[in-house]
Amino acid sequence: MQPYAGKRTVDLIAAGTALVVFAPLAAGIALATWFEDGGSPLFLQTRVGQRRRPFTVFKFRTMRDHRVTRVGRWLRRTGLDELPQFINVWRGEMSVIGPRPLTAEDLRRLGWADRSHEWRFAARPGVTGLSQLLAGRSARYSGRLERLYLSRQGFWFDLRLMALSSVVNLVGKRVVRHWLSRTPAADSHLG
């Protein structure tokens, strides 16, 4: 379950490119979030990373007073709330593709805090990945997707997941999940 040679280089190139290319969009999102309710556009939270090391994840804020905002609804649907995580990739805390970065509370809730789930902390968590794109059904299914990714990870697989994530940013998670659910053996298209 080791990452392929050159994965960190791919991460740095992808993160650097994303931070430059999406800078105008990120600025627009930050302004829209701030204009909507005057709050900070960023949301910071401690997550559990590679080898169970805690780190602070950067995301665009999607909620105010425990309710999803209008801008936040659009950000969640397209996955663009994750854009600031490219800073985490650049800093070496995350990878572009990998297991979902979870909080310690998430790990307890899912039943993944014990040593039997140590495998999922062998890799850096990802901005996107199989569980981020396809999960939502159950903890068991999400865990299966993360194991599948870690067992198949490679340059071409990561490239396919990056492409699929780009489609999500354009048309939304729901559309892509619907398309994949109607496609026979959706997992085989990814691996």
Q: Express each pLDDT in 91-143 by its tens digit.
A: 999 999 999 999 999 999 999 999 999 999 999 999 999 888 887 778 888 88
Distance between CA atoms of residues 91 and 21, nearest Å? 18
Q: Is residue 2 part of a domain?
A: no
Strand-pair partners of 142: none
Query: How many Cα atoms sit within 13 Å of 117 on the Cβ side?
Result: 19
Residue 38 falls within a domain, yes or no? Answer: yes
Q: Kindly report, residue by residue over 40-90, the tens digit of the pLDDT.
A: 999 999 999 999 999 999 999 999 999 999 999 999 988 899 999 999 999
In a domain, 149, yes or no: yes
Domain count, the chain: 1
For the entire predicted model, the pTM comes to 0.88
Domain of residue 51: give its range: 7-190
* Residue 58, helix vs strand vs coil: strand
Q: What confidence tens digit (pLDDT) does each residue in 156-183 have?
A: 999 999 998 888 888 877 787 777 767 6
Q: How far apart are CA 134 and CA 88, in angstroms?
A: 22
**Looking at this protein, which amino acid is placed at residue 26?**
A
> Is position 1 within any domain?
no
